[in-house]
Amino acid sequence: VKPPNVGELCEKARLSLTPDEAAEIGPQISRVVDWFGQLQEVELDNVDPAIRVGHEVESQRGLRRDEHLDFTEKDSMVASVGEKEGVFIKVPKILN
Amino acid sequence: MASSLGAQAHAHGYGQAQAHGYGDARSARFFRNAGDLSPSSCRFRAAMATASASILASPAIPRSKPAASQISRLQTQLRKKEISAVEIVTEYLDRLREKEPDVKSFLHISSSALDEAAEIDGRLARGDDPGPLAGIPIAIKDNLCTQGMPSTGGSRILDGYRPPYDATAVKRLKESGAVLIGKTNLDEFGMGSSTESSAYQVTSNPWDLSRVPGGSSGGSAAAVAAGQCACALGSDTGGSIRQPASFCGVVGLKPTYGRVSRFGLMAYASSLDVVGCLGTSVDDVSLLLNAIAGHDPADATSSSKVVPNYLKALVPAKELPGNPLAGMKFGIIKETIGEGVEPAVAQVVKNAVVHLEKLGAVVQEVSLPTFSLGLPAYYVLAASEASSNLSRYDGIRYGPRVVADELNAMYGASRGQGFGAEVKRRILMGTYALSAGYYDAFYKRAQQVRTLIQQDFKKALEDGHILLSPVAPSPAFKIGEKVLDPLSMYLGDLMTVNVNMAGLPALSLPCGLIEDEGSKLPVGLQLIGNAFEEEELLRVGHIFEQTVPTW
């Protein structure tokens, strides 16, 4: 398994680090990932992976009714938007 | 009437706790570059300069008689008209303000608390019943959304964010008549075990101000211990209610996964997170659980199992039979009382076991062979889920945005400046573990270990055992002691993470004190039960706290 490459990971995670931050974080992450290595030393054949807790949760019982519900605080959601132009919400350029 | 009380509240300075401008990016980044809390940062120096003073509240702790319910006492006085809700809230707000310069538990203090209390008094005067928590001042961890009140998750990336809705647990407290007194400090997005990775301030342990309150619900635990609120809500993903409860000498309950709705809790690790309660007695924690537990259509992982009246299980001390735990079996987890645990902590826990035996219990040693694997497995799973959950903080939807010409640069800079060092570490480690080609090596193996841990617990709990362990390997450590080495911080979570991976309920109960460098520091006993058997845990916890020698 290749050790963590901070630059690649930052690009995947859309996270910008300063060179100082990257220099500090790199060894810290590598140390923890080495410690994760204990998981490779265990015998795990024939063990099913657990996605969630052991007991049944509601969502496993089926789907909810397909009915429309209204959210009543629309005004305060729109009020908290950063930039508006008339009735439009202004967002940064998406397409290159 | 209401508005003059509101004016009174402002005069007392109960407005919003000092907000930090996101605009001064240079100084903000300096703090973050310094790993949130490095020896060179001003905040670290200020915290260390504080003498090891203790500013515990009365009536909370230490106590000369067994723990008593604050909520029950206040409700009785309120209904008998011996006290008003405004007087109750004023008393707590006064104590909050008095202790706050030392403890710094709060990120925001409600400016409408007295107005809400006045409303409760009005309803009582008209013969209405505002609910079983009427007038009770409750603090809310800042990763729970509170409508109109700032909710930062302890992070700069949500600086100034005011949610348009209440978390379900918060809404249910309000419906029970509670007064939300403020939002408490936490490790950023719940990631941490000391509250030192909050982007805003360091919270001190009321037992010794030079020490951490634990984390990530450190603000809630410290606020309860200092008497700044009657009780508090927290969240627990890997021990974040239980460990600060242990460090601060208060009762902390992590409910079964699915018992309390997670709607409105800022997600850290969705398969592990739960909302829970902290208080100075088991009664109070039970009353809180009564209010917040139950199915929520807005949370697909919440359970429809009926919510019992948790208070019914609690018998007053004088009505207890001679051997109240006769016939009950307990298992003390062998892997938690040997190597890696401070001898003083192990001793206090063994004393607690002797006390349980005196009450008639049978306590055996049980072994959970995969116990120690839980820690790396937990951190792989938690970091992976966090890397996904925190991708929503993109500078577009909420919080401050760093403007850039191009979309990815905007994401990168907003997140780079908005997140602290620990959060960044976990996002990057989680991204690594989930990368194509690495799934088998890390994430899948962590899930397989999770299965083994669930199986071990199931076997140990089958015989009707309640499992016992210390909550943490040490009492509260000094501020700054572990920040430079993330791994040393993670190792302290050994006793608590496995419980989250199995989704089981667990109670942290103060069970004794340790002396360290002249300070008396509390130690917590952890009780772990079967899924949805909070009643048993609370019943036993209540018996323990009512009969334990006072300290």
Q: Give the pLDDT confidence of B357-374 residue by residue, as tens digits.
A: 999 999 999 999 999 999
B408 with A14: Cβ contact below 8 A: yes
Q: What is the ipTM of this complex?
A: 0.92
Q: How high is the pLDDT of residue A74? A: 87
Residue B61 has pLDDT above 90, yes or no: no
Q: For residue B114, what are the contacts with CB-CB under 8 A and spacing of at least 6? A: B5, B6, B8, B9, B14, B86, B89, B90, B93
Token code pair at residue B24: 């001064």
Q: How far is B147 from chain A (nearest CA, A)?
A: 10
B476: left (phi over 0), alpha (psi -120 to 50) or beta: beta
**Residue B480 near residue B49, CB atoms below 8 Å:** no
In the block, tokens 């006045």 appear at B118
- Mean pLDDT over B196-218 rounds to 97
Which helix (H) or strand (E) is B525 found in, with range? strand B519-528
Q: Is residue A30 part of a domain?
A: yes
CATH of the domain at A9: 1.10.20
Q: Is residue A33 part of a domain?
A: yes
Q: Which range among B266-275, B426-435, B483-492 shows the weakest confidence by mean pLDDT?
A: B483-492
- Mean pLDDT over B240-245 rounds to 98
Does residue B305 carry a catalytic annotation? no
**Residue of chain A with shortest Cα separation from B490:** A32
Does residue B261 carry a catalytic annotation? no
Residue B286 has pLDDT above 80, yes or no: yes
Q: Give the pLDDT confidence of B110-156 residue by residue, as tens digits.
A: 999 999 999 999 999 999 999 999 999 999 999 999 998 999 999 99
Residue B484 has pLDDT above 70, yes or no: yes
Q: Is residue A74 part of a domain?
A: no
Catalytic pick among B99, B104, B141, B171: B141
**Residue B304 near residue B173, CB atoms below 8 Å:** no
Does residue B216 carry a catalytic annotation? yes
**β B506-516/B465-470 pair status:** unpaired
Q: Is residue A69 part of a domain?
A: no
Rounded to 5°, the CA angle B425-B301-A60 comes to 120
Tell me the C-alpha distance between B1 and B4, whole Å: 5
Q: Is residue A94 part of a domain?
A: no
B419 with A6: Cβ contact below 8 A: no
Token code pair at residue A5: 């490459």
Token code pair at residue B263: 């709607």
Radius of gyration, CA atoms only, chain B: 22
Q: Give the pLDDT confidence of B155-188 residue by residue, as tens digits.
A: 999 999 999 999 999 999 999 999 999 999 999 9
State percent of chain B over pLDDT 90. 79
Residue B64 has pLDDT above 90, yes or no: no
Q: How high is the pLDDT of residue B22? A: 31
Q: How high is the pLDDT of residue B403? A: 85
- Using CB atoms, which residue from B424, B429, B449 is nearest to A39? B449
Q: How far is A14 from chain B (nearest CA, A)?
A: 5
Q: Is residue A84 part of a domain?
A: no
A49 with B447: Cβ contact below 8 A: yes
B409 with A16: Cβ contact below 8 A: yes
Adjacent-strand bridge partners of B515: B520
Q: Is residue A24 part of a domain?
A: yes
**Residue B152 near residue B141, CB atoms below 8 Å:** no
Provide, as residue numbers in chain A, all residues whose Cβ is less than 8 Å from the Cβ of B254: none
Q: How far is B38 from chain A (nearest CA, A)?
A: 12
Q: How many domains does chain A have?
A: 1
pLDDT band, very low/low/confident/very high, at B399 (cuts 50, 70, 90):
confident
- Mean pLDDT over B13-20 rounds to 32
Q: How high is the pLDDT of residue A80? A: 77
Q: Give the pLDDT confidence of B287-296 residue by residue, as tens digits.
A: 999 999 999 9
Q: Between B445-462 and B374-389, two packed helices, what is the crossing angle to 10 degrees?
A: 120
Instruction: Give the number of other CB atoms < 10 A from CB of residue A80.
Output: 15
Tell me the C-alpha distance between B392 and B404, whole Å: 18
| B419 and A CB contact within 8 Å | yes
Find the farthest-apart pair of alpha carbons in chain A and give their distance in angstroms, rounded: 62
Residue A60 has pLDDT above 60, yes or no: no
pLDDT band, very low/low/confident/very high, at A59 (cuts 50, 70, 90):
low
pLDDT band, very low/low/confident/very high, at B36 (cuts 50, 70, 90):
very low
Q: How high is the pLDDT of residue B414? A: 95
Q: Is residue A26 part of a domain?
A: yes
Q: Which amino acid is at B69?
A: S
**Residue of chain B with shortest Cα separation from A35:** B376
Catalytic pick among B84, B193, B194, B216: B216
Q: How high is the pLDDT of residue B549? A: 65
Show the domain range for A22. 1-42
Tell me the C-alpha distance between B289 and B311, whole Å: 9
**Residue of chain A with shortest Cα separation from B274:** A53
pLDDT band, very low/low/confident/very high, at B19 (cuts 50, 70, 90):
very low
> Which of B428, B459, B462, B489 best probes binding to A when mutated, by most A CB atoms within 10 angstroms?
B428
The CA–CA distances, whole Å, from B121 to B45, B124, B131, B171 equal 45, 5, 12, 20
The total number of residues shown for chain A amounts to 96
> Which of A1, A30, A32, A65 best probes binding to B when mutated, by most B CB atoms within 10 angstroms?
A32
Residue B178, φ and ψ in degrees, nearest 5: -70, 155
Residue that wins the pLDDT comparison between B5 and B307: B307
**Residue B400 near residue B392, CB atoms below 8 Å:** no
Provide, as residue numbers in chain A, all residues whose Cβ is less than 8 Å from the Cβ of B300: 57-59
Residue B96 has pLDDT above 90, yes or no: yes
**Residue of chain A with shortest Cα separation from B413:** A16
The CA–CA distances, whole Å, from B384 to B178, B199, B324, B485, B526 equal 36, 22, 45, 20, 27
pLDDT band, very low/low/confident/very high, at A96 (cuts 50, 70, 90):
low
The CA–CA distances, whole Å, from A66 to A63, A69, A74, B348, B433 equal 8, 10, 21, 55, 36
- Using CB atoms, which residue from A24, A36, A47 is nearest to B452? A47
A54 with B441: Cβ contact below 8 A: no
Tell me the H-state helices in B249-394.
282-292, 343-358, 374-389
Residue B104 has pLDDT above 90, yes or no: yes
Q: Which range among B118-122, B232-236, B394-398, B440-444 shows the weakest confidence by mean pLDDT?
A: B394-398
B487 with A31: Cβ contact below 8 A: yes
A52 with B271: Cβ contact below 8 A: yes
Q: Which of B320, B352, B333, B290 is nearest to B466 (CA)?
A: B333
Residue B531 has pLDDT above 90, yes or no: yes
B425 with A15: Cβ contact below 8 A: no
Residue B490 has pLDDT above 90, yes or no: yes
Q: For residue B42, what are the contacts with CB-CB under 8 A and spacing of at least 6? A: none
Q: How high is the pLDDT of residue B32? A: 37
Q: How high is the pLDDT of residue B57? A: 60
Q: For residue B122, what are the contacts with CB-CB under 8 A and spacing of at least 6? A: none
Token code pair at residue B179: 């007064």
Provide, as residue numbers in chain B, all residues whose Cβ is less than 8 Å from the Cβ of A93: 405-407
Q: How high is the pLDDT of residue B52? A: 66
**Residue of chain A with shortest Cα separation from B433:** A33
Adjacent-strand bridge partners of B526: B469, B508
pLDDT band, very low/low/confident/very high, at A63 (cuts 50, 70, 90):
confident
Provide, as residue numbers in chain B, all residues whose Cβ is less than 8 Å from the Cβ of A31: 486-487
Provide, as residue numbers in chain B, all residues whose Cβ is less than 8 Å from the Cβ of A51: 271, 447
Between chain A and chain B, the number of residue pairs with CB atoms below 8 A apart is: 181
